[in-house]
């Protein structure tokens, strides 16, 4: 992740502890508040609190190194920890059934992000962040891709905030639309699981419709979340190819190494998922691991908020929000159309 062009520029001599403690303290508050506001969730609260502290209180530059560390490395650890809570075997049946709809909506999301992004003049990295957040799993997907494409922190914060806005709209709107369209429990579960971004919002919308729809939507969403692995690997190879091409154009010696940009944390995520799948994680400690993973990602996103410059975000304008709206509508409609074609509704 690129260091933000703000007053919080880390230097080699700065200690990590002050910034880490600040991110952890705010993260703890966000975790608690997230329990009382589940529709919003701890990660979004964390990044909002981080942005508020950064732009209202202007922490001293000595906090910079710890905040940058949390925004990069704690972010990667949180993704690995999420793997311990995702059993690949439990979603195979439902996953295979929902895969066709999921692949269509993912393709639509990325194509819409690219086409609308170019039309609106939104730069490439923000296109990718909004596209992957809408296509796969909201803030978690954005968090996973961020270490690979290394956007500015205000871009990451803007993308997560945009995704959250449409998550909230979906939670309120989808159950109403589902009943108006007389959707089946399974049809609504598939729609919610493929067209709503964050897991908490999928669960909220699904169970608002019915228990059966909520159960189905949750499994579809878990399956969809596993696709972050091939997507991250694909993005890593594309970034590697661009870097290599740039070196050649600049007359470089061709010293670029894929290993330097390869998202190794995704491989550890796979290892963690495999460990969970074969049953090496005792059921008694799985809730604690889930809570730890949630807290790590809250701390990491809080750090991103602490690095975000609201003036830069404001200068970005309304175009990224329009991009997020367009991609979200495209995904929602394409999911319904595919289900209509296959007779799932």
Q: Which of 85-99, 173-187, 275-289 has the highest mean pLDDT?
A: 173-187
Q: What is the DSSP string of 20-77?
A: HHHHHHHHHHHHHHHHH-TTT-HHHHHHHHHHHHHHHT---GGGHHHHHHIIIIIHHH
Residue 252 has pLDDT above 60, yes or no: no
What confidence score (pLDDT) does residue 262 get? Answer: 57
Q: Do you know the residue count of the chain?
A: 345
Residue 8 domain-assigned (yes or no): no
Cα separations (Å) of 273 from 81, 145, 178? 9, 18, 33
What confidence score (pLDDT) does residue 92 get? Answer: 57
Residue 10 domain-assigned (yes or no): no
* pTM assigned to the model: 0.64
Cα separations (Å) of 269 from 51, 53, 81, 83, 134? 28, 31, 7, 5, 21
Q: What is the DSSP string of 67-131?
A: HHHIIIIIHHHHHHHHHTT--SGGGHHHHHHHHHHHHHHHHHHHHHHHHHHHHHT--HHHHHHHH
Confidence grade of residue 6 (pLDDT, cut at 50, 70, 90): very low
pLDDT in tens, 71-120: 778 877 877 887 787 666 654 555 566 677 888 888 999 999 999 999 99
Find out whether 72 and 147 touch, Cβ atoms under 8 Å: yes
What confidence score (pLDDT) does residue 13 get? Answer: 58
Residue 12 domain-assigned (yes or no): no
Residue 330 has pLDDT above 90, yes or no: yes
Residue 174 has pLDDT above 50, yes or no: yes
217-233 burial code (b ≥16 CB/10 A, e <16):
bbbbbbbbbbbbbebbe
What confidence score (pLDDT) does residue 329 get? Answer: 93
- Position with higher pLDDT, 264 vs 46: 46
Distance CA 130, CA 148 (A): 15
Residue 1 has pLDDT above 80, yes or no: no
Range of the domain at 25: 21-342
Of 303, 327, 340, 289, the residue nearest 126 (C-alpha): 327
What confidence score (pLDDT) does residue 2 get? Answer: 39
Residue 13 domain-assigned (yes or no): no
Over residues 250-254, the mean pLDDT reads 54
Q: Which of 67-71, 80-84, 128-132, 253-257 has the lowest mean pLDDT?
A: 253-257
Residue 153 domain-assigned (yes or no): yes
What confidence score (pLDDT) does residue 5 get? Answer: 36
Q: Which of 93-102, 205-214, 233-242, 327-336 has the lowest mean pLDDT?
A: 93-102
Residue 314 has pLDDT above 60, yes or no: yes
Exposed, middle or buried by CB within 10 Å (0-12, 13-18, 19+), for 109? Answer: buried
Residue 198 domain-assigned (yes or no): yes
Exposed, middle or buried by CB within 10 Å (0-12, 13-18, 19+), for 19? Answer: buried
Domain count of the fold of the chain? 1
Over residues 136-165, the mean pLDDT reads 79
Residue 209 domain-assigned (yes or no): yes
Dihedral sign, Cα of residue 288, residue 198, residue 209, residue 31: positive
Q: Residue 15 CB: number of other CB atoms within 10 A? A: 11
Residue 15 domain-assigned (yes or no): no
Over residues 255-259, the mean pLDDT reads 51
Q: Which of 81-90, 134-143, 172-181, 282-291 has the highest mean pLDDT?
A: 172-181
């Amino acid at each position: 992740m690129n260091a933000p062009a703000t007053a919080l520029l880390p230097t080699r001599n700065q200690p990590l502890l002050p910034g880490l403690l600040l991110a952890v303290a705010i993260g703890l508050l966000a975790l608690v508040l997230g329990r009382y506001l589940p529709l919003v969730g701890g990660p979004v609260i964390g990044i909002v609190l981080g942005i508020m502290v950064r732009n209202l209180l202007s922490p001293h530059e000595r906090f910079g190194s710890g905040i940058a560390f949390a925004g990069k490395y704690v972010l990667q650890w949180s993704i690995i920890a999420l793997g311990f809570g995702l059993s690949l075997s439990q979603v195979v049946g439902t996953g295979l059934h929902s895969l066709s709809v999921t692949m269509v909506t993912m393709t639509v999301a990325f194509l819409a992000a690219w086409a609308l992004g170019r039309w609106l003049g939104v730069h490439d990295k923000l296109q990718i962040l909004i596209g992957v957040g809408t296509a796969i799993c909201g803030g978690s997907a954005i968090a996973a891709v961020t270490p690979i494409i290394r956007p500015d922190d205000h871009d990451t914060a803007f993308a997560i905030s945009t995704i959250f806005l449409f998550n909230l709209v979906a939670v309120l709107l989808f159950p109403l639309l589902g009943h108006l369209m007389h959707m089946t429990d399974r049809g609504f579960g598939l729609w919610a699981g493929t067209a709503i971004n964050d897991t908490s919002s999928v669960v909220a919308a699904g169970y608002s419709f019915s228990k059966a729809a909520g159960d189905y939507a949750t499994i579809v969403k878990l399956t969809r979340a596993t696709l972050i692995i091939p997507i991250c690997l694909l993005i890593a190879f594309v970034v590697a190819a661009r870097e290599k091409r740039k070196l050649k154009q600049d007359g470089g010696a061709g010293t670029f190494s894929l290993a330097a940009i390869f998202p190794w944390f995704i491989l550890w995520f796979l290892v963690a998922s495999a460990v969970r799948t074969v049953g090496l994680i005792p059921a008694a400690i799985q809730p604690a691991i889930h809570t730890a993973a949630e807290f790590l990602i809250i701390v990491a996103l809080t750090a991103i908020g602490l690095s975000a410059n609201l003036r830069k975000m404001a200068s970005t304008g309304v175009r990224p929000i329009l991009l997020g709206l367009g991609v979200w509508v495209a995904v929602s409609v394409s999911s319904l159309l595919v289900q209509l074609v296959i007779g799932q509704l």
